[in-house]
């Protein structure tokens, strides 16, 4: 947008800016939630905004006490974080998920790798600093090349609709490209094709997910979910929809027992479902009349995050909204974490990634001026807009053991 600062045009441009700014980032509750808040206070005493409750004397006296409490609470939160990484078990009974094994210290958060305007880049989740994600190079004709005549590494390749996912140890990237599943070792730059053919169908984009012990991969092909050893052996079809429904975007649970995925219906609807790795215990987590997508697990396995696109125009007829939602694996306690209101008439894609330490969620959602990468607490607070203007795609948050 160009802004004319001449006297007669500036008011007009300023009005346009205010209209967009007022609706740009909506951290406010919905009208229904506001009605509940008002209803809860009407009939009792008047609502007093939190900032009015601060009495100077109490604030001054409580200054040191608050600092000490904040420090203690912060320390306590850190101690609660534990990463659950059991071994993959395919013989687990559906009725009794594999017991979790809590090991060692939690993973730390590395950079978020996203596909940006010039290829995949690493984004620092705190500062927003952007850099190349590694020293991956490609010799024309080599295995790393997307095309024998090209010089771009295959995992940089754009327009192929591929996401990448980090191995649990943070050293390898798995992706789908050109009808196959690939694993790229970022330490040695070796790229290995795991499957000879796969990944012909995935909506809205293709996803490969790692088992928590790093020994298996899961991916979608032809509307079914498959698992395979990382060496390419034992390819197993674990869903059997037979074309009536199409499964895509698998996400392996942190306890290794289940795989969540997007299940696309025959119309414009989709669901989030999960199934045991042995192909039993299919369960719908979220049923929806719209195309929910991109399920990702929290590192402790207690919640799933997914995207809810609202294509319906708002009251002004301009645009819909995009929401990041979390839910318990049994489908209860659905919580809208983050909303970009008046963002878009329609959108396909978007994505989410839970930080390895479980304290943040990254999501890519559309706005009026393109897609942005947002990072926030799982409750939707402390939102930071990290990357904007290059339509970032496919966030993959690197774990640092």
Partner 1 sequence: MTEREAAQRVGIDHVDPVAAVVADTDLAAFVAEQYDRLVRLGRLVCRDGADAADAVQLGLEQAWRRRATLRDDARLRPWLDRIVVREAIRIARSRQSLLGRFVTPRPDVAWIEPADQRMDQLPAWSALRAAFARLSAEQRAVVALHLYMGYSVIETAELVGAPIETVRSRLRLAKDRLRSELEERES
Residues numbered 290 to 349 that lie near partner 1 (CB under 8 A) are 290, 308, 310, 312, 315, 321, 323, 325, 331-334, 336
* Cα 137 from Cα 116, distance rounded (Å): 17
Beta strand spans in 68-135 (E)? 108-116, 119-123, 130-132
Cβ neighbourhood burial of 368 (10 Å; 0-12, 13-18, 19+): middle
Cβ 1 to partner 1 shortest distance, Å: 5
x/- map, 211-250, partner 1, by CB under 8 A: ----------------------------------------
Cβ 174 to partner 1 shortest distance, Å: 26
Alpha carbon distances (Å) from 313 to 213, 321, 343, 372: 44, 8, 10, 21
x/- map, 66-105, partner 1, by CB under 8 A: x---------------------------------------
Cβ 67 to partner 1 shortest distance, Å: 8
Beta strand spans in 201-355 (E)? 208-210, 216-221, 224-229, 236-237, 246-252, 258-264, 270-276, 283-286, 293-297, 304-310, 320-327, 335-344, 351-354
| Contact yes or no for 305/354 (Cβ under 8 A) | yes
Of residues 62 and 140, the one with the C-beta less far from partner 1: 62
Cβ 43 to partner 1 shortest distance, Å: 9
Stated as kind and residue range, the H or E segment containing 72 is helix 56-80
Only segment of 8-16, 182-190, 223-231, 244-252 that touches partner 1 (CB under 8 A): 8-16
Which DSSP string do the residues of 17-39 spell out, in sequence order? Answer: HHHHHHHHSB-SPPHHHHHHHHH
Cβ 306 to partner 1 shortest distance, Å: 10
Token pair recorded at residue 356: 């390895």
Among 287, 302, 391, 401, contact with partner 1 (rule: CB under 8 A): 287
* Cα 262 from Cα 337, distance rounded (Å): 19
57 binds partner 1 (CB under 8 A): no
Of residues 10 and 140, the one with the C-beta less far from partner 1: 10
**Footprint on residues 117-136 left by partner 1 (CB under 8 A):** 117-118, 121, 124, 127-131
281 binds partner 1 (CB under 8 A): no
| Contact yes or no for 214/230 (Cβ under 8 A) | yes
289 binds partner 1 (CB under 8 A): yes
**Footprint on residues 377-396 left by partner 1 (CB under 8 A):** 377, 380-390
Token pair recorded at residue 291: 């195309």
**Footprint on residues 19-38 left by partner 1 (CB under 8 A):** 19, 21-23, 25-38
Cβ 323 to partner 1 shortest distance, Å: 5
């Amino acid at each position: 947008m160009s802004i004319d600062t001449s006297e007669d045009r500036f008011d007009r441009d300023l009005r346009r800016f205010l209209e967009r700014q007022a609706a740009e980032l909506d951290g406010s509750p919905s009208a229904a939630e506001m009605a509940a808040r008002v209803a809860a206070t009407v009939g009792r005493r008047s609502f007093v905004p939190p900032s009015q409750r601060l009495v100077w004397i109490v604030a001054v006296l409580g200054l040191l006490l608050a600092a000490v409490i904040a420090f203690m609470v912060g320390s306590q939160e850190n101690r609660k974080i534990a990463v659950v990484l059991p071994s993959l078990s395919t013989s687990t009974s559906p009725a009794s998920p594999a017991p979790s094994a809590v090991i060692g210290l939690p993973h730390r958060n590395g950079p978020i790798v996203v596909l940006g305007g010039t290829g995949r880049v690493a984004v620092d989740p705190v500062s927003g600093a952007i850099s190349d994600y590694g020293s991956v190079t490609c010799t024309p004709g080599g295995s790393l090349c997307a095309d024998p005549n090209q010089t771009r590494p295959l995992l940089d390749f754009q327009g192929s609709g591929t996401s990448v996912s980090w191995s649990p140890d943070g050293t390898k990237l798995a992706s789908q490209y050109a009808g196959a599943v690939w694993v790229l070792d970022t330490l040695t730059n070796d790229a290995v094709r795991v499957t000879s053919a796969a990944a012909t169908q995935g909506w809205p984009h293709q996803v490969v997910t790692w088992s928590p012990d790093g020994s298996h991969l899961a991916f979608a092909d032809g509307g079914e979910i498959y698992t395979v050893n990382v060496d390419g052996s034992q390819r197993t079809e674990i869903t059997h929809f037979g074309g009536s429904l199409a499964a895509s975007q698998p996400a392996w649970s942190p306890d290794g027992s289940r795989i969540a995925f997007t299940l696309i219906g025959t119309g414009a609807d989709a669901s989030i479902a999960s199934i045991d790795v042995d192909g039993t215990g299919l369960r719908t987590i979220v049923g929806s009349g719209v195309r929910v997508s991109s399920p990702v697990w929290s590192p402790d396995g207690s919640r799933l995050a997914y995207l809810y696109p609202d294509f319906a125009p708002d009251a002004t007829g301009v645009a819909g909204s995009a929401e990041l939602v979390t839910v318990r694996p049994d489908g209860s306690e659905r919580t809208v974490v983050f909303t970009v209101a008046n963002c878009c008439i329609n959108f396909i894609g978007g994505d989410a990634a839970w930080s390895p330490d479980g304290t943040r969620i990254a999501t890519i959602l559309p706005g009026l001026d393109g897609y942005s990468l947002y990072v926030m607490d799982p409750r939707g607070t402390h939102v930071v807009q990290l990357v904007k203007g290059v339509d970032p795609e496919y966030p993959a948050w690197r774990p640092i053991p």
